[in-house]
Structure 1
Amino acid sequence: MEAVYVDKHYNLVVECKQGSKKAHYELYKLYSKAMLNTAFRIVDNLDEAQDVLQEAFLDAFARIKDFRQETTFGLWLKQIVVHRCINQLRKRKMELVDINDEQIENLADADEADDGELQYKVDQVKQAMKLLPEGYRVVLSLYLLEGYDHEEIGQVLNINENTSRTQFLRAKRKLIEILKQKGITS
């Protein structure tokens, strides 16, 4: 027997399945900002992120009858958004290079700081992430911000798991390098 996950927006999803345009609009209002943020972190272009968002919602509403509540609507929608983002990046011909395991290096984690300085550092990291090469930024965003593991990233990007790990480690190293240049880390 399949598990069915009931989330707090279950009734809206049911109404959508019955064709309610009002329910479509309510779900859009509930999720659009978060999904736009997700799309923007991946494609790093507001216009493209907005396009991805619209396409993802169109996809979701067209396929809403296939949604089986095995997870939350938000997670299901996020998966659609991420896949749409990856397709958008493929249109840009994003290139990820396969790397051998021997080339992976351990990197030191950043030191902890007080809340005010921590917020400053978070803002600086967000800005520095925009300077990363696209492949690095995408893997780093999917792993750190979207919560995907390397196996899932590999499946989404059509790369092997080790390539995802390597891209992540290189992205982390490059990010630290950028932050050091800005005087953010020691």
Structure 2
Amino acid sequence: MELAVAQDQHAYLVERCREGDVMSFKKLYELYAKAMFNTSLRIVNNRTEAEDVLQESFIDAFHHIDSFESKSSFGAWLKQIVVNKSINHLKKKRIDLVEIENAEMNNRAEAAEDEEKDMQWQVERVREAITRLPVGYRTVLSLYLLEGYDHEEIAQILDVAESTTRTQYIRAKQKLLTILKRGA
């Protein structure tokens, strides 16, 4: 029941934004800013850059609010904008994902999964270790594990082959395990 009320309130605020109501812009910003900042921070791994991405995302969202069709929630629509802006920010910094051979990774992935099952790590320690990953690894790992995208969606977002995202994910897990074993 509370979810339906919140969705109705958000739909009302979106309608008011379409009419140019500044207070509705402010309320939507307040409702979503923290979550969207965290989404961007997990991808770009820099607070200042995440703040910039957040601001650019809200500006774009408010400038294109008429294109929001209510097929999904406003939050999902905004999150897609934030993810795309974050990825584009990384691309501007000329960060490229590299493809590797899948055959070599299959054996290493199985070993990494066995090791992963045996370990219990504290959340904060893992978060800190994630920030130490190379950008490509961190991006794919964050989109897959933390944002809930599948490899096909990540491949579309990053404009790379699906096999590349799978490889980057496997490598990211291995690198993360290495960092954690060394004492993050």
Q: TM-score, normalised by structure 1?
A: 0.88
| RMSD (Å) for aligned C-alpha atoms | 1.6
Task: Tell me which residue corresponds to 2:7.
Answer: 7
Amino acid at match of 1:151: E
How many pairs align? Answer: 172
Please identify which structure carries the higher helix content. 2
Match of 1:110, SS state, is helix
Misfit runs of 4+, over 6 Å:
none
Specify the alignment match of 1:57 in structure 2: 58
1:86 equivalent to 2:87? Answer: yes
Structure-1 residue corresponding to 2:149: 148
2: CA distance between counterparts of 1:127 and 1:143? Answer: 17
What is the CA–CA distance in structure 2 between the aligned matches of 1:41 and 1:174, rounded to whole Å? 17
The reply on whether 1:110 has 2:111 as its aligned counterpart is no
Amino acid at match of 1:140: L
Name the counterpart of 1:125. Answer: 126
Q: Deviations over 1:28-57 (max 9, x none)?
A: 000001101111110011111000000000
* In structure 1, distance between residues paired with 2:73 and 2:84: 17
Q: Separation in 1 of the partners of 2:118 and 2:14?
A: 43
Q: In structure 2, list runs of 5 or more residues that go unmatched.
A: 1-5
Q: Greater shift after overlay, 29-38 or 97-106?
A: 97-106
Q: CA deviation at 1:100?
A: 2.6
What is the CA–CA distance in structure 1 between the aligned matches of 2:36 and 2:135, rounded to whole Å? 19
Secondary structure of the structure 2 residue equivalent to 1:7: helix
- Give the corresponding residue for 1:25: 26
